[in-house]
Amino acid sequence: MNILVTGGAGFIGSNFVRHFLEKHPSDSIVNLDKLTYAGNLDNLTDLEGNSRHRFVPGDITDPVLLDQLAAETDAIIHFAAETHVDRSIVAPEAFIKTNIQGTFVLLEASRKHKHKRFLHISTDEVYGSRLEGDFTEKDVLTPSSPYSASKASSDLLVSSYHKTYGLPAMITRCSNNYGPYQFPEKLIPLMISNALEDKSLPVYGDGLYIRDWLYVLDHCEAIDQVFHRGEIGEIYNIGSESGKTNLEIVQFILNTLGKPMSLIEHVKDRPAHDRRYAVSPQKIQSVLGWQPTYSIESALEKTIRWYCDHLDWWGRIKSGEYRDMYEKIYGVSL
């Protein structure tokens, strides 16, 4: 199969492209990415010269480009999105355009070219917050931020295309990921890189917000299983049922790096900050047999080591070097 992957230069997308090409030697990928501030071709350097991987710089909201790429491919796995909650609070417009309009353009292209599969990568954040128990796939969506509301909107569009047009679509809703190549605006890479630079670690509010952290390769494997064996029209939650407070994560990072707890600085809270995310992965476990294979302790340590070994990678991002470079090469304004 020739698969159109969107957002494959981002954090999860780049890990997925590598995982998928290694696992499926007779398949190939067309990787469409706009290279926004979050996309980075350095995440894909090991794929240079791989004839089964073709990178296409472009925007998912461009219907002409999507018509052309959908004609060449058999299926879509859709990661591309604006993904940072804080940015969505400050500047929501790009979230509406990319996450909703972009998904619509992809759905239309996939429908026109009679694709065999459309896998939409969504998030547990669409369910909103709950203090106890886990959300199942049947729960109503009560998103809190413009980011999660835009993802929930795209989920509903995807479901409607399955119901109305019989598009062979599926949706996954995963919990928070961590691992190599995550942009250092998200909690874990921000805290690791700040600690390495002896900068303060900004913890929002009391730091007792809970997230269910999943190592990115466990997520990639779950996506692969849903893509190949999932039931058309279905939604699959993905998570590890191991919620941790933000303070627990930050303290683990400081302990591992041998840095003082005095680097922690409690700062102003995020508006509409969801207290706890928790999804039940019972369906994907019982139907597809997927299980997470990494423990948070060992995979977080592995991740911290990766950021210690890749100071150049995040140093260039933090200095804005990539942004300037892509603006020059692709004429995109980020």
Which residues are identified as catalytic? 124-125, 147
- Kind plus residue range of the DSSP H or E element containing 193: helix 187-196
Near ligand TYD by CB under 6 A: residue from 209, 213, 215, 252: 209
Nearest to 170 by CA among 249, 229, 248, 105: 229
* Cα–chain center distance at 189: 14
Q: With CB cut-offs between 5 and 8 Å by kind, which of ligand NAD, ligand TYD, none does residue 204 bind?
A: ligand TYD
Q: End-to-end distance of the chain based on CA atoms, in angstroms?
A: 33
Q: Is 81 in the site for ligand NAD (CB under 6 A)?
A: yes
Near ligand NAD by CB under 6 A: residue from 5, 13, 70, 141: 13
11/16 with CB nearer ligand TYD: 11
Q: With CB cut-offs between 5 and 8 Å by kind, which of ligand TYD, ligand NAD, none does residue 103 bind?
A: none
Would you give the binding string for ligand TYD spanning residues 239-278, x where CB under 6 A is met?
Answer: -------x-----------------------x--------
- Distance (Å) of CA 6 to CA 69, 118, 156: 11, 11, 19
Site for ligand NAD in 106-165 (CB under 6 A): 121, 123, 151
Stretch that binds ligand TYD, among 149-157, 201-209, 286-294, 302-310 (CB under 6 A): 201-209
Q: Is 323 in the site for ligand TYD (CB under 6 A)?
A: no
* Cα–chain center distance at 206: 26
Checking 42-50 for CB contacts under 8 A at 24+ apart, the result is 42/313, 42/316, 42/322, 43/9, 43/10, 43/11, 43/14, 43/181, 44/8, 44/9, 44/14, 44/17, 44/18, 46/18, 47/17, 47/18, 47/21, 50/21
Which single residue brings its beta carbon nearest to ligand NAD?
Answer: 10
Q: Is 76 in the site for ligand NAD (CB under 6 A)?
A: no
Residue 72 phi/psi, 5-degree rounding, is: -90, -10
List of residues contacting ligand TYD (CB under 6 A): 85, 125, 176, 186-187, 190, 202-204, 209, 211, 246, 270
List of residues contacting ligand NAD (CB under 6 A): 6-7, 9-13, 32-36, 38-39, 59-61, 79-83, 98, 102, 121, 123, 151, 174, 176-177, 183
